[in-house]
Amino acid sequence: MIEPFAATGWRPAVRVGADVLVQWGRIQQALELAHPGGRDGEPRALWPDYAEVLVKAGRIDEAIDVLGPYLRDHWVLRDLVRMTEGQGRDERVLEVLAPIAAGFRTGRDGGWGLWKALTLQALVLERSGQADEAIRCLGATVAAGRYGPQNTVEFYAELLARHGRVEELRELATGPQQSSAVPAYVKALEDLGRAWHAEAFLRGLIATLEYPTRYEYQLLELLARQGRLDEAVAAVAHTFDDLNDSNLLQSAMLVLAEHGHHARALALTEGRSAEFIEESEHWLPSNRWWLMGETGQCREAIAEVEAMTDIEPPSPRDVDDRNATIGRLLAKDGREEEAIAYLRRCSGFWASTELALVLVGQGRCAEAIAAVPGVAAQREEDRRVRDYWDAWR
């Protein structure tokens, strides 16, 4: 199944194929498959796959050496830290990270993405039992303002929360870095049994800001975690017909669904304005059909899908998505054979994937594998999609 895809050099297939070979104990074959030699693509994007096999074979130092020339790329740095976790080589990883992090802090090396070295260094310090040193180093960097994007502040706030440094976290959440630190501060208070304090803090922010959407979302989640679902939805209901990013309808629907209240989530889609429905056509119908399926209204959902009309001719992907949705709903309704027959008549990646999933659910794994389009078929579908958009433009 994997071989023809791996033979094209497609990274996901190479990874899966190499992993299977490693599990079989065929390490040399796995290394040969993952080796970048002769494969298209940037070497720095391909060597981590090879290093991963070396790690699985217990050859950690070789893996680190292989990645050494490419560590100016933040994706490679991330892969190095991930694959060496629990391998007893944290000190060596820290040696590799130290000059890169120092270069970014001092401005000697401002390469795009190298800010990741700061958080990765802190992560390795933390996992090696040096949490205080991680907090000291990253805290000094945040205070000095040489930390790259806000992701660093978010990581620092979460680091403080993990180690019970609530006072330092409160200072961060009430200072210039407030927006990045508030989620960690709220969760830390909640974990300490002070959910009432977290709620009051969020409501105070919401009351004083002109655009408090991010904090309203956090209040929604906090109240939901406390089991106060009615209050959670009520707290954000005033946004449900907004025609901008402040709308939290979908967030409220997902929160209700996560807590098993699919019917209540579905009810929120009713009575929305025509303007909002038009503005939300890229997500509202599909969410509605999913919720209808979860509440035993599969046939009604199928009827809605089939009744959909387009002003413009739909793209191949739109048609494919609707076909897959109908197949999924048929299976959800207990009509698996009808779903299989329907999906077999459809073309497209999503319909094929849904067909395979239905077949797997019935234990028909060989048929599921056969249902997955080959490399040539998938490339042909991509070509059809590109042709559609070229013609549309």
Residue for token pair 């892969």:
79
Closest by CA to 328, choosing from 381, 290, 365, is 290
Number of H helices, E strands in the chain: 25, 0
Buried b (16+ CB within 10 A) or exposed e, 298-319: beebbebbeeeeeeeeeebbeb
The DSSP 8-state label assigned to residue 313 in this structure reads P
Confidence at residue 5, expressed as pLDDT on a 0 to 100 scale: 82
Confidence at residue 312, expressed as pLDDT on a 0 to 100 scale: 63
Confidence at residue 186, expressed as pLDDT on a 0 to 100 scale: 97
Confidence at residue 111, expressed as pLDDT on a 0 to 100 scale: 65
Question: Which amino acid does the sequence have at 265?
Answer: A
* Spatial separation of the C-alpha atoms in residues 265 and 257, rounded to whole Å: 6
Confidence at residue 379, expressed as pLDDT on a 0 to 100 scale: 82
DSSP one-letter string for 325-351: HHHHHHHHTT-HHHHHHHHHT--SHHH
Which residues of the chain are under the pLDDT cut of 70? 38-43, 109-112, 309-314, 392-393
Tokens for 202?
Answer: 């969020």
Contact 338, 319 (CB under 8 A): no
Question: Which amino acid does the sequence have at 17?
Answer: G
Buried b (16+ CB within 10 A) or exposed e, 129-150: ebbeebbebbbebbeeebbbee
Buried b (16+ CB within 10 A) or exposed e, 169-205: bbebbeeebeebbbbbbbbbbbeeeebeebbebbeeb
Confidence at residue 3, expressed as pLDDT on a 0 to 100 scale: 83
Contact 372, 356 (CB under 8 A): yes
Helices 249-258/229-236 angle, 10° precision: 170
* Spatial separation of the C-alpha atoms in residues 320 and 373, rounded to whole Å: 14
Q: Give 358-383 pLDDT, tens digit per residue.
A: 999 999 999 999 998 887 877 887 88
End-to-end Cα separation, the chain, in angstroms: 37
* Spatial separation of the C-alpha atoms in residues 38 and 73, rounded to whole Å: 21
Confidence at residue 105, expressed as pLDDT on a 0 to 100 scale: 84
Residue for token pair 């209204």:
297
Confidence at residue 8, expressed as pLDDT on a 0 to 100 scale: 80
Contact 181, 196 (CB under 8 A): no
Q: Give 346-356 pLDDT, tens digit per residue.
A: 988 899 999 99
Contact 14, 6 (CB under 8 A): yes
* Spatial separation of the C-alpha atoms in residues 99 and 96, rounded to whole Å: 7
* Spatial separation of the C-alpha atoms in residues 49 and 34, rounded to whole Å: 6
Confidence at residue 255, expressed as pLDDT on a 0 to 100 scale: 97
* Spatial separation of the C-alpha atoms in residues 93 and 81, rounded to whole Å: 7
